A and B are shown apart, each in its own frame.
Chain A
Amino acid sequence: MKAALLSIPALFLAAAANSDDIGFSGMPEMCASCHGRDGASSGSMPSLAPLDEESVRLLLEAYRSGEIEGTIMNRIARGLTDAEIASLAEYFGELEE
Protein backbone atom coordinates (compact mmCIF):
# COMPACT_ATOMS: atom_id res chain seq x y z
CA MET A 1 0.00 0.00 0.00
CA LYS A 2 1.33 3.39 -0.96
CA ALA A 3 1.09 5.71 1.96
CA ALA A 4 1.53 9.37 2.03
CA LEU A 5 0.83 11.96 4.56
CA LEU A 6 0.00 12.07 8.16
CA SER A 7 -3.21 13.81 7.25
CA ILE A 8 -4.53 10.58 5.86
CA PRO A 9 -3.65 8.68 9.00
CA ALA A 10 -5.26 7.10 11.99
CA LEU A 11 -6.81 4.08 10.45
CA PHE A 12 -4.62 4.36 7.46
CA LEU A 13 -1.43 4.80 9.41
CA ALA A 14 -2.24 1.78 11.45
CA ALA A 15 -2.73 -0.21 8.28
CA ALA A 16 0.58 0.93 6.88
CA ALA A 17 2.50 1.02 10.10
CA ASN A 18 4.89 -1.69 9.06
CA SER A 19 5.56 -0.34 5.63
CA ASP A 20 8.88 1.42 5.07
CA ASP A 21 7.15 3.34 2.38
CA ILE A 22 8.58 6.50 0.93
CA GLY A 23 5.49 8.47 1.76
CA PHE A 24 6.39 8.17 5.37
CA SER A 25 9.97 9.27 4.92
CA GLY A 26 8.55 12.38 3.31
CA MET A 27 11.04 12.24 0.48
CA PRO A 28 8.78 13.81 -2.18
CA GLU A 29 8.57 16.93 -0.03
CA MET A 30 12.34 17.11 0.06
CA CYS A 31 12.38 17.49 -3.73
CA ALA A 32 9.99 20.45 -3.63
CA SER A 33 12.48 23.07 -2.48
CA CYS A 34 14.17 22.70 -5.88
CA HIS A 35 11.46 21.32 -8.17
CA GLY A 36 8.52 23.24 -6.71
CA ARG A 37 5.49 22.13 -4.74
CA ASP A 38 3.62 19.33 -6.48
CA GLY A 39 6.44 19.08 -9.00
CA ALA A 40 5.40 22.42 -10.53
CA SER A 41 8.50 24.57 -10.83
CA SER A 42 8.25 28.33 -11.17
CA GLY A 43 11.82 28.86 -12.31
CA SER A 44 14.63 27.22 -14.27
CA MET A 45 14.42 23.89 -12.42
CA PRO A 46 12.59 21.20 -14.39
CA SER A 47 8.97 20.51 -13.37
CA LEU A 48 8.41 16.91 -12.36
CA ALA A 49 4.64 16.92 -12.62
CA PRO A 50 4.53 16.34 -16.40
CA LEU A 51 6.56 13.12 -16.12
CA ASP A 52 4.91 9.72 -15.93
CA GLU A 53 5.90 7.08 -13.41
CA GLU A 54 8.18 5.14 -15.72
CA SER A 55 10.04 8.29 -16.83
CA VAL A 56 10.69 9.41 -13.27
CA ARG A 57 12.00 5.98 -12.36
CA LEU A 58 14.23 5.71 -15.41
CA LEU A 59 15.57 9.23 -14.97
CA LEU A 60 16.34 8.76 -11.28
CA GLU A 61 18.06 5.45 -11.95
CA ALA A 62 20.05 7.01 -14.78
CA TYR A 63 21.16 9.94 -12.61
CA ARG A 64 22.06 7.56 -9.82
CA SER A 65 24.18 5.32 -12.06
CA GLY A 66 25.76 8.25 -13.90
CA GLU A 67 24.28 7.18 -17.23
CA ILE A 68 22.91 10.71 -17.54
CA GLU A 69 25.04 13.55 -16.26
CA GLY A 70 23.34 16.59 -14.85
CA THR A 71 24.76 19.35 -12.71
CA ILE A 72 23.44 18.30 -9.31
CA MET A 73 20.87 15.54 -9.74
CA ASN A 74 23.52 12.78 -9.79
CA ARG A 75 24.76 13.86 -6.37
CA ILE A 76 21.21 13.70 -4.99
CA ALA A 77 20.07 10.51 -6.75
CA ARG A 78 23.09 8.63 -5.35
CA GLY A 79 21.49 9.07 -1.93
CA LEU A 80 18.21 7.35 -2.88
CA THR A 81 17.38 3.69 -2.28
CA ASP A 82 15.62 1.48 -4.84
CA ALA A 83 12.47 1.57 -2.73
CA GLU A 84 12.58 5.36 -2.58
CA ILE A 85 13.02 5.65 -6.34
CA ALA A 86 10.05 3.37 -6.91
CA SER A 87 7.89 5.37 -4.56
CA LEU A 88 9.04 8.75 -5.85
CA ALA A 89 8.22 7.57 -9.36
CA GLU A 90 4.78 6.51 -8.24
CA TYR A 91 4.22 9.76 -6.37
CA PHE A 92 5.27 12.09 -9.20
CA GLY A 93 3.67 9.81 -11.77
CA GLU A 94 0.37 10.27 -9.96
CA LEU A 95 0.66 14.04 -10.33
CA GLU A 96 0.94 13.58 -14.07
CA GLU A 97 -2.67 14.05 -15.16
Chain B
Amino acid sequence: MGIRGAETSRRGLLKLAGASAFAGVAGERAVAGVRGKVVVVGGGFGGAAVARYLKLHSAELDIVLVERNEKFSTCPFSNTVIGGFNELEFVTFGYEGLRADGVEVLIGNVVEIDAGGNSIRLSGGEGISYDRLVVSPGIDFKWDAIEGYDEAAAERMPHAWKAGSQTALLRRQLEAMEDGGLVVIAAPVTPFRCPPGPYERASLVANYLSERKPRSKVLILDSKDGFSKQGLFREGWERLYPGMIEWIGFSDGGNVIEVDARSMVVRTDFEEFRPDVANIVPPQRAARLLDTAGLAEGGDWCRVDPRTFESAAAPNIHVLGDACVAGAMPKSGHSANSQAKACARAIASLLAGESPREPAYINTCYSLLSEDYGISVAGVYRPDENGEIASVPGAGGSSPPDAPAEYRQAEAEYARGWFANITAEMFG
Protein backbone atom coordinates (compact mmCIF):
# COMPACT_ATOMS: atom_id res chain seq x y z
CA MET B 1 0.00 0.00 0.00
CA GLY B 2 1.58 3.19 -1.15
CA ILE B 3 0.24 5.98 0.93
CA ARG B 4 -0.03 5.13 4.56
CA GLY B 5 -3.67 4.60 5.30
CA ALA B 6 -4.94 5.27 1.80
CA GLU B 7 -6.98 2.10 2.01
CA THR B 8 -8.34 2.99 5.38
CA SER B 9 -9.25 6.39 4.06
CA ARG B 10 -11.08 4.95 1.15
CA ARG B 11 -12.89 2.54 3.40
CA GLY B 12 -13.71 5.30 5.84
CA LEU B 13 -15.14 7.42 3.11
CA LEU B 14 -17.03 4.62 1.50
CA LYS B 15 -18.39 3.65 4.85
CA LEU B 16 -19.55 7.20 5.22
CA ALA B 17 -21.23 7.08 1.88
CA GLY B 18 -22.34 3.57 2.71
CA ALA B 19 -25.26 4.98 4.58
CA SER B 20 -26.76 3.96 1.29
CA ALA B 21 -26.40 0.28 0.58
CA PHE B 22 -25.51 0.72 -3.08
CA ALA B 23 -22.54 2.97 -2.46
CA GLY B 24 -20.08 0.32 -3.56
CA VAL B 25 -21.81 -0.24 -6.87
CA ALA B 26 -22.29 3.44 -7.43
CA GLY B 27 -18.61 3.88 -6.66
CA GLU B 28 -17.52 1.52 -9.40
CA ARG B 29 -19.73 3.12 -11.99
CA ALA B 30 -18.65 6.57 -10.98
CA VAL B 31 -15.01 5.69 -11.22
CA ALA B 32 -15.54 4.29 -14.69
CA GLY B 33 -17.15 7.59 -15.62
CA VAL B 34 -14.23 9.67 -14.39
CA ARG B 35 -11.61 8.78 -16.95
CA GLY B 36 -9.06 11.04 -18.44
CA LYS B 37 -5.49 12.17 -18.22
CA VAL B 38 -4.38 14.83 -15.80
CA VAL B 39 -0.84 16.15 -16.09
CA VAL B 40 0.69 17.89 -13.08
CA VAL B 41 3.74 20.14 -13.43
CA GLY B 42 5.84 20.49 -10.27
CA GLY B 43 6.15 17.95 -7.46
CA GLY B 44 6.20 20.38 -4.53
CA PHE B 45 3.54 21.41 -2.03
CA GLY B 46 0.76 21.94 -4.54
CA GLY B 47 1.77 19.37 -7.16
CA ALA B 48 2.55 16.33 -5.01
CA ALA B 49 -0.65 16.81 -3.01
CA VAL B 50 -2.92 17.27 -6.02
CA ALA B 51 -1.48 14.20 -7.79
CA ARG B 52 -2.06 11.98 -4.77
CA TYR B 53 -5.54 13.26 -3.99
CA LEU B 54 -6.59 12.91 -7.62
CA LYS B 55 -5.45 9.30 -7.58
CA LEU B 56 -7.21 8.70 -4.28
CA HIS B 57 -10.52 10.12 -5.50
CA SER B 58 -10.45 8.79 -9.03
CA ALA B 59 -8.30 5.69 -9.27
CA GLU B 60 -9.06 5.33 -13.00
CA LEU B 61 -7.57 8.67 -13.92
CA ASP B 62 -4.14 8.68 -15.56
CA ILE B 63 -2.03 11.03 -13.48
CA VAL B 64 1.35 12.11 -14.82
CA LEU B 65 3.54 14.29 -12.59
CA VAL B 66 6.47 16.05 -14.23
CA GLU B 67 9.12 17.35 -11.84
CA ARG B 68 12.54 18.80 -12.58
CA ASN B 69 14.39 17.15 -9.68
CA GLU B 70 14.67 13.54 -8.47
CA LYS B 71 14.25 14.73 -4.90
CA PHE B 72 12.33 17.59 -3.37
CA SER B 73 13.73 19.64 -0.49
CA THR B 74 11.04 21.49 1.41
CA CYS B 75 11.47 25.17 2.23
CA PRO B 76 9.45 24.57 5.43
CA PHE B 77 11.98 23.54 8.08
CA SER B 78 14.90 24.49 5.79
CA ASN B 79 15.58 27.31 8.27
CA THR B 80 16.28 24.61 10.87
CA VAL B 81 18.99 23.31 8.52
CA ILE B 82 20.44 26.82 8.23
CA GLY B 83 20.26 27.13 12.02
CA GLY B 84 22.07 23.80 12.39
CA PHE B 85 19.38 21.67 14.11
CA ASN B 86 18.77 19.40 11.14
CA GLU B 87 20.63 18.10 8.12
CA LEU B 88 19.39 18.76 4.60
CA GLU B 89 18.24 15.10 4.41
CA PHE B 90 15.63 15.89 7.06
CA VAL B 91 13.79 18.13 4.59
CA THR B 92 14.46 16.01 1.47
CA PHE B 93 11.94 13.56 0.04
CA GLY B 94 11.63 11.25 -2.98
CA TYR B 95 8.67 10.31 -5.15
CA GLU B 96 8.47 6.59 -4.30
CA GLY B 97 5.24 7.10 -2.36
CA LEU B 98 3.54 8.77 -5.32
CA ARG B 99 4.74 6.05 -7.69
CA ALA B 100 3.40 3.38 -5.35
CA ASP B 101 0.01 5.13 -5.47
CA GLY B 102 0.00 4.76 -9.24
CA VAL B 103 1.08 8.27 -10.16
CA GLU B 104 3.42 8.25 -13.14
CA VAL B 105 6.33 10.45 -12.06
CA LEU B 106 8.58 11.76 -14.85
CA ILE B 107 11.76 13.63 -14.06
CA GLY B 108 12.05 16.35 -16.64
CA ASN B 109 12.07 20.07 -17.23
CA VAL B 110 8.91 21.51 -18.74
CA VAL B 111 9.74 24.36 -21.12
CA GLU B 112 6.41 25.14 -22.74
CA ILE B 113 2.69 24.93 -22.14
CA ASP B 114 0.60 24.84 -25.30
CA ALA B 115 -2.83 25.78 -24.00
CA GLY B 116 -4.45 25.63 -27.44
CA GLY B 117 -3.03 22.18 -28.16
CA ASN B 118 -3.70 20.82 -24.63
CA SER B 119 -0.10 19.71 -24.27
CA ILE B 120 3.20 20.52 -22.59
CA ARG B 121 6.72 20.16 -23.94
CA LEU B 122 9.85 19.03 -22.09
CA SER B 123 13.39 20.32 -22.66
CA GLY B 124 14.23 17.14 -24.60
CA GLY B 125 11.52 18.07 -27.11
CA GLU B 126 8.95 15.43 -26.20
CA GLY B 127 5.34 16.49 -25.79
CA ILE B 128 2.73 15.25 -23.34
CA SER B 129 -0.96 15.85 -23.96
CA TYR B 130 -3.57 16.27 -21.26
CA ASP B 131 -7.30 16.53 -20.64
CA ARG B 132 -6.60 18.77 -17.68
CA LEU B 133 -3.32 20.35 -16.63
CA VAL B 134 -2.41 21.38 -13.09
CA VAL B 135 0.63 23.60 -12.66
CA SER B 136 2.25 24.28 -9.29
CA PRO B 137 5.79 25.32 -10.26
CA GLY B 138 6.26 27.91 -7.51
CA ILE B 139 8.20 31.12 -7.94
CA ASP B 140 10.96 32.56 -10.05
CA PHE B 141 13.15 35.42 -8.91
CA LYS B 142 13.23 38.83 -10.50
CA TRP B 143 16.94 38.78 -11.19
CA ASP B 144 18.48 42.23 -11.40
CA ALA B 145 15.55 43.89 -9.63
CA ILE B 146 18.32 44.45 -7.09
CA GLU B 147 21.17 45.75 -9.22
CA GLY B 148 23.99 43.22 -9.43
CA TYR B 149 21.95 40.36 -7.97
CA ASP B 150 21.83 37.68 -10.64
CA GLU B 151 22.21 33.89 -10.62
CA ALA B 152 25.99 34.14 -10.42
CA ALA B 153 25.78 36.56 -7.48
CA ALA B 154 23.51 34.08 -5.69
CA GLU B 155 26.47 31.69 -5.50
CA ARG B 156 28.25 34.21 -3.23
CA MET B 157 25.18 35.79 -1.65
CA PRO B 158 22.66 32.93 -1.42
CA HIS B 159 18.91 33.51 -1.46
CA ALA B 160 18.19 30.05 0.00
CA TRP B 161 14.56 30.74 -0.98
CA LYS B 162 14.36 27.49 -2.94
CA ALA B 163 15.62 24.73 -0.70
CA GLY B 164 18.53 22.45 -1.58
CA SER B 165 22.06 23.47 -2.53
CA GLN B 166 21.31 27.12 -1.69
CA THR B 167 20.27 26.08 1.83
CA ALA B 168 23.50 24.13 2.27
CA LEU B 169 25.56 27.03 0.92
CA LEU B 170 24.12 29.52 3.40
CA ARG B 171 24.73 27.04 6.24
CA ARG B 172 28.37 26.58 5.20
CA GLN B 173 28.92 30.33 5.06
CA LEU B 174 27.56 30.75 8.59
CA GLU B 175 29.79 27.94 9.82
CA ALA B 176 32.83 29.54 8.19
CA MET B 177 32.11 33.01 9.57
CA GLU B 178 34.28 34.31 12.44
CA ASP B 179 32.76 35.35 15.74
CA GLY B 180 31.86 39.04 15.60
CA GLY B 181 30.70 38.81 11.99
CA LEU B 182 27.75 40.56 10.40
CA VAL B 183 24.95 38.57 8.72
CA VAL B 184 22.64 40.59 6.48
CA ILE B 185 19.24 39.22 5.48
CA ALA B 186 17.52 41.24 2.75
CA ALA B 187 13.73 40.71 2.86
CA PRO B 188 11.63 41.38 -0.26
CA VAL B 189 8.50 43.33 -1.09
CA THR B 190 5.09 41.70 -0.77
CA PRO B 191 3.79 39.39 -2.18
CA PHE B 192 6.44 36.75 -1.75
CA ARG B 193 6.77 33.09 -0.74
CA CYS B 194 6.30 32.62 3.02
CA PRO B 195 5.71 36.03 4.64
CA PRO B 196 7.18 35.04 8.05
CA GLY B 197 10.11 33.16 6.46
CA PRO B 198 12.85 35.85 6.59
CA TYR B 199 12.13 36.52 10.27
CA GLU B 200 12.10 32.85 11.22
CA ARG B 201 15.42 32.62 9.45
CA ALA B 202 16.85 35.59 11.35
CA SER B 203 15.75 33.88 14.59
CA LEU B 204 17.37 30.54 13.84
CA VAL B 205 20.57 32.17 12.55
CA ALA B 206 20.68 34.14 15.82
CA ASN B 207 20.10 30.89 17.70
CA TYR B 208 23.23 29.40 16.14
CA LEU B 209 25.29 32.56 16.55
CA SER B 210 24.30 33.14 20.17
CA GLU B 211 25.54 29.67 21.04
CA ARG B 212 28.68 29.59 18.89
CA LYS B 213 29.61 33.13 17.83
CA PRO B 214 27.95 35.39 20.40
CA ARG B 215 29.60 38.67 19.32
CA SER B 216 28.01 38.44 15.86
CA LYS B 217 24.99 40.40 14.59
CA VAL B 218 22.02 39.72 12.33
CA LEU B 219 20.78 42.73 10.37
CA ILE B 220 17.49 42.48 8.48
CA LEU B 221 17.25 45.01 5.67
CA ASP B 222 13.59 45.12 4.69
CA SER B 223 11.83 46.49 1.62
CA LYS B 224 8.66 46.79 3.73
CA ASP B 225 7.61 48.84 6.74
CA GLY B 226 6.19 45.90 8.63
CA PHE B 227 6.10 42.12 8.53
CA SER B 228 4.14 39.01 9.45
CA LYS B 229 3.78 38.28 13.20
CA GLN B 230 6.03 41.31 13.83
CA GLY B 231 5.08 41.83 17.48
CA LEU B 232 5.54 38.15 18.25
CA PHE B 233 8.93 37.98 16.55
CA ARG B 234 10.15 41.09 18.36
CA GLU B 235 8.93 39.77 21.70
CA GLY B 236 10.77 36.50 21.07
CA TRP B 237 13.97 38.19 19.89
CA GLU B 238 14.10 40.28 23.06
CA ARG B 239 13.54 37.23 25.19
CA LEU B 240 15.89 34.85 23.37
CA TYR B 241 18.56 36.92 21.61
CA PRO B 242 18.64 40.39 23.22
CA GLY B 243 20.60 42.88 21.13
CA MET B 244 21.56 40.41 18.42
CA ILE B 245 18.91 41.02 15.72
CA GLU B 246 18.34 44.46 14.24
CA TRP B 247 15.55 45.21 11.76
CA ILE B 248 15.58 48.22 9.44
CA GLY B 249 12.32 48.84 7.61
CA PHE B 250 11.80 50.53 4.24
CA SER B 251 11.26 54.06 5.58
CA ASP B 252 14.39 53.87 7.71
CA GLY B 253 16.56 52.94 4.76
CA GLY B 254 16.14 49.17 4.70
CA ASN B 255 15.41 48.85 0.99
CA VAL B 256 18.31 47.04 -0.73
CA ILE B 257 18.83 48.46 -4.22
CA GLU B 258 22.23 47.12 -5.22
CA VAL B 259 24.79 44.47 -4.31
CA ASP B 260 28.34 43.76 -5.34
CA ALA B 261 28.81 40.08 -4.71
CA ARG B 262 32.55 40.13 -5.47
CA SER B 263 33.42 42.75 -2.88
CA MET B 264 30.53 41.71 -0.57
CA VAL B 265 28.81 45.08 -0.53
CA VAL B 266 25.08 45.58 0.05
CA ARG B 267 23.62 49.04 -0.66
CA THR B 268 20.32 50.53 0.42
CA ASP B 269 18.87 53.90 -0.52
CA PHE B 270 20.85 55.49 2.32
CA GLU B 271 23.73 53.31 3.33
CA GLU B 272 26.36 50.77 2.42
CA PHE B 273 26.97 47.55 4.38
CA ARG B 274 29.87 45.09 4.22
CA PRO B 275 28.46 41.88 5.67
CA ASP B 276 30.42 38.67 6.20
CA VAL B 277 27.40 36.65 5.11
CA ALA B 278 24.72 38.13 2.84
CA ASN B 279 21.39 36.32 2.40
CA ILE B 280 19.56 38.20 -0.33
CA VAL B 281 15.92 37.22 -0.84
CA PRO B 282 15.02 38.93 -4.11
CA PRO B 283 11.57 40.05 -5.30
CA GLN B 284 9.50 37.24 -6.80
CA ARG B 285 6.93 36.34 -9.42
CA ALA B 286 5.17 33.21 -10.68
CA ALA B 287 7.47 30.73 -12.46
CA ARG B 288 8.23 32.09 -15.96
CA LEU B 289 7.15 28.81 -17.54
CA LEU B 290 3.58 30.02 -17.02
CA ASP B 291 4.19 32.93 -19.41
CA THR B 292 4.47 30.46 -22.30
CA ALA B 293 0.69 30.10 -22.01
CA GLY B 294 0.05 33.70 -20.91
CA LEU B 295 -1.22 32.49 -17.54
CA ALA B 296 0.12 35.55 -15.69
CA GLU B 297 -1.59 37.80 -18.29
CA GLY B 298 1.44 40.04 -18.53
CA GLY B 299 1.66 40.46 -14.74
CA ASP B 300 3.54 38.59 -12.02
CA TRP B 301 0.91 36.13 -10.75
CA CYS B 302 -1.89 34.00 -12.17
CA ARG B 303 -5.55 34.75 -11.53
CA VAL B 304 -7.71 31.69 -10.89
CA ASP B 305 -11.25 30.64 -10.08
CA PRO B 306 -11.53 30.61 -6.26
CA ARG B 307 -13.31 27.24 -6.26
CA THR B 308 -11.48 25.17 -8.86
CA PHE B 309 -8.19 27.05 -9.30
CA GLU B 310 -8.80 26.98 -13.04
CA SER B 311 -6.86 29.73 -14.75
CA ALA B 312 -8.69 32.94 -15.63
CA ALA B 313 -6.56 33.06 -18.79
CA ALA B 314 -6.81 29.55 -20.24
CA PRO B 315 -9.37 26.74 -19.95
CA ASN B 316 -8.44 23.26 -18.63
CA ILE B 317 -5.38 24.60 -16.81
CA HIS B 318 -5.36 24.90 -13.01
CA VAL B 319 -2.73 26.97 -11.19
CA LEU B 320 -1.93 26.20 -7.54
CA GLY B 321 0.35 27.44 -4.82
CA ASP B 322 2.72 30.39 -4.86
CA ALA B 323 2.12 31.07 -8.56
CA CYS B 324 -1.59 31.90 -8.21
CA VAL B 325 -3.53 34.79 -6.74
CA ALA B 326 -5.49 33.23 -3.89
CA GLY B 327 -7.08 36.26 -2.24
CA ALA B 328 -6.46 36.33 1.50
CA MET B 329 -4.42 33.12 1.54
CA PRO B 330 -0.68 33.72 1.95
CA LYS B 331 1.89 32.04 -0.29
CA SER B 332 2.66 29.06 1.92
CA GLY B 333 3.11 25.33 1.62
CA HIS B 334 0.02 24.77 3.73
CA SER B 335 -2.03 27.07 1.45
CA ALA B 336 -0.79 25.16 -1.62
CA ASN B 337 -1.73 21.88 0.07
CA SER B 338 -5.20 23.09 0.91
CA GLN B 339 -5.74 24.43 -2.61
CA ALA B 340 -4.54 21.12 -4.06
CA LYS B 341 -7.18 19.18 -2.16
CA ALA B 342 -10.00 21.43 -3.35
CA CYS B 343 -8.61 21.37 -6.89
CA ALA B 344 -8.43 17.55 -6.94
CA ARG B 345 -12.10 17.37 -5.99
CA ALA B 346 -13.04 20.03 -8.51
CA ILE B 347 -11.23 18.22 -11.34
CA ALA B 348 -12.89 14.92 -10.47
CA SER B 349 -16.26 16.72 -10.60
CA LEU B 350 -15.52 18.50 -13.85
CA LEU B 351 -14.34 15.32 -15.56
CA ALA B 352 -17.51 13.61 -14.36
CA GLY B 353 -19.58 16.42 -15.85
CA GLU B 354 -20.69 17.63 -12.42
CA SER B 355 -20.38 21.14 -11.11
CA PRO B 356 -17.75 21.51 -8.38
CA ARG B 357 -18.83 21.92 -4.75
CA GLU B 358 -18.23 24.85 -2.49
CA PRO B 359 -14.75 24.52 -0.94
CA ALA B 360 -13.28 25.83 2.29
CA TYR B 361 -9.55 26.23 2.93
CA ILE B 362 -7.24 26.28 5.95
CA ASN B 363 -3.76 27.71 6.23
CA THR B 364 -1.25 27.77 9.06
CA CYS B 365 2.27 29.12 9.14
CA TYR B 366 4.24 27.95 12.12
CA SER B 367 7.56 29.70 12.76
CA LEU B 368 10.31 28.55 15.08
CA LEU B 369 12.33 31.14 17.01
CA SER B 370 14.33 28.41 18.73
CA GLU B 371 13.93 24.68 19.13
CA ASP B 372 11.40 25.20 21.88
CA TYR B 373 9.85 28.51 20.96
CA GLY B 374 7.15 28.42 18.27
CA ILE B 375 4.53 30.91 17.07
CA SER B 376 1.80 30.58 14.46
CA VAL B 377 -0.68 32.37 12.28
CA ALA B 378 -3.74 30.54 10.98
CA GLY B 379 -6.76 31.23 8.80
CA VAL B 380 -9.94 29.62 7.51
CA TYR B 381 -11.08 30.81 4.08
CA ARG B 382 -14.06 30.59 1.75
CA PRO B 383 -14.84 32.08 -1.65
CA ASP B 384 -16.96 35.22 -1.17
CA GLU B 385 -19.65 36.76 -3.35
CA ASN B 386 -17.04 38.83 -5.24
CA GLY B 387 -15.22 35.73 -6.37
CA GLU B 388 -12.33 36.30 -3.95
CA ILE B 389 -11.01 33.84 -1.41
CA ALA B 390 -11.76 35.64 1.86
CA SER B 391 -10.87 34.97 5.50
CA VAL B 392 -13.78 33.76 7.60
CA PRO B 393 -14.41 36.66 10.01
CA GLY B 394 -13.66 35.82 13.63
CA ALA B 395 -11.55 32.78 12.76
CA GLY B 396 -7.78 32.55 12.41
CA GLY B 397 -5.18 34.99 13.67
CA SER B 398 -1.83 34.81 15.43
CA SER B 399 -0.62 33.26 18.67
CA PRO B 400 -1.24 35.54 21.66
CA PRO B 401 1.44 37.99 22.82
CA ASP B 402 3.19 37.52 26.16
CA ALA B 403 2.23 33.86 26.39
CA PRO B 404 4.01 31.66 28.95
CA ALA B 405 7.04 29.61 27.90
CA GLU B 406 4.99 26.39 27.94
CA TYR B 407 2.69 27.81 25.28
CA ARG B 408 5.62 28.69 22.99
CA GLN B 409 7.10 25.27 23.67
CA ALA B 410 3.83 23.54 22.76
CA GLU B 411 3.67 25.46 19.48
CA ALA B 412 7.25 24.43 18.66
CA GLU B 413 6.22 20.80 19.23
CA TYR B 414 3.14 21.26 17.07
CA ALA B 415 5.24 22.89 14.33
CA ARG B 416 7.26 19.66 14.16
CA GLY B 417 4.04 17.65 14.21
CA TRP B 418 2.66 19.71 11.33
CA PHE B 419 5.84 19.09 9.32
CA ALA B 420 5.73 15.34 9.99
CA ASN B 421 2.10 15.03 8.92
CA ILE B 422 2.07 17.30 5.88
CA THR B 423 5.22 15.72 4.44
CA ALA B 424 3.84 12.21 5.11
CA GLU B 425 0.67 13.28 3.34
CA MET B 426 2.70 14.42 0.32
CA PHE B 427 5.47 11.84 0.13
CA GLY B 428 5.00 9.15 2.81
B362 contacts A45, C-beta separation under 8 Å: no
- Dominant secondary structure at the B interface: helix
A3 and B19 alpha carbons, distance in the complex (Å): 9
A57 to chain B, nearest CB (A): 15
Q: Is A54 an interface residue (CB 8 A)?
A: no
Q: Which B residues are in CB contact (< 8 Å) with A51?
A: none
Q: Is B208 an interface residue (CB 8 A)?
A: no
What is the number of residues of chain A that contact chain B, defined by CB distance less than 8 Å?
A: 50
A89 to chain B, nearest CB (A): 12
A29 contacts B53, C-beta separation under 8 Å: yes
B360 contacts A25, C-beta separation under 8 Å: yes
B17 to chain A, nearest CB (A): 5
Q: Which A residues are in CB contact (< 8 Å) with B378?
A: 72, 75-76
Q: Is B359 an interface residue (CB 8 A)?
A: yes
- For A91, give the chain B residue with the smallest CB separation: B16
Q: Which B residues are in CB contact (< 8 Å) with A94?
A: 12, 15-16
Q: Which B residues are in CB contact (< 8 Å) with A24?
A: 345, 357-358
Q: Which A residues are in CB contact (< 8 Å) with B341?
A: 26, 29-30
Q: Is A5 an interface residue (CB 8 A)?
A: yes
Q: Which B residues are in CB contact (< 8 Å) with A6?
A: 30, 34, 57-58, 345, 348-349, 352, 354
| A6-52 CB contacts (< 8 Å) to partner B | 6-13, 15, 17, 20, 23-27, 29-38, 40-45
A68 and B276 alpha carbons, distance in the complex (Å): 48
A12 contacts B27, C-beta separation under 8 Å: yes
A11 contacts B359, C-beta separation under 8 Å: no
What is the number of residues of chain B that contact chain A, defined by CB distance less than 8 Å?
A: 71
| B183-202 CB contacts (< 8 Å) to partner A | none
| B340-385 CB contacts (< 8 Å) to partner A | 341-342, 345, 348-349, 352, 354, 357-362, 364, 376, 378-380
A1 contacts B20, C-beta separation under 8 Å: yes
Segment touching A, from B67-75, B159-167, B323-331, B420-428: B420-428
Segment touching A, from B135-143, B217-225, B391-399: B391-399
A80 and B348 alpha carbons, distance in the complex (Å): 25
A45 contacts B417, C-beta separation under 8 Å: yes
A71 contacts B376, C-beta separation under 8 Å: yes
- Known A37-B5, A79-B396; contact A43-B417, beta-carbon cutoff 8 A: yes
Q: A45-B417, A72-B364, A78-B380 are in contact. List 6 more A-B contacts (CB 8 A).
A: A6-B349, A8-B26, A30-B360, A33-B421, A36-B425, A79-B396
Residues of B within 8 A of A (CB): 3-6, 8-10, 12-17, 19-20, 22-23, 26-27, 29-31, 33-34, 53, 56-59, 334, 337-338, 341-342, 345, 348-349, 352, 354, 357-362, 364, 376, 378-380, 392, 394-397, 399, 407, 410-411, 413-414, 416-422, 424-425, 428
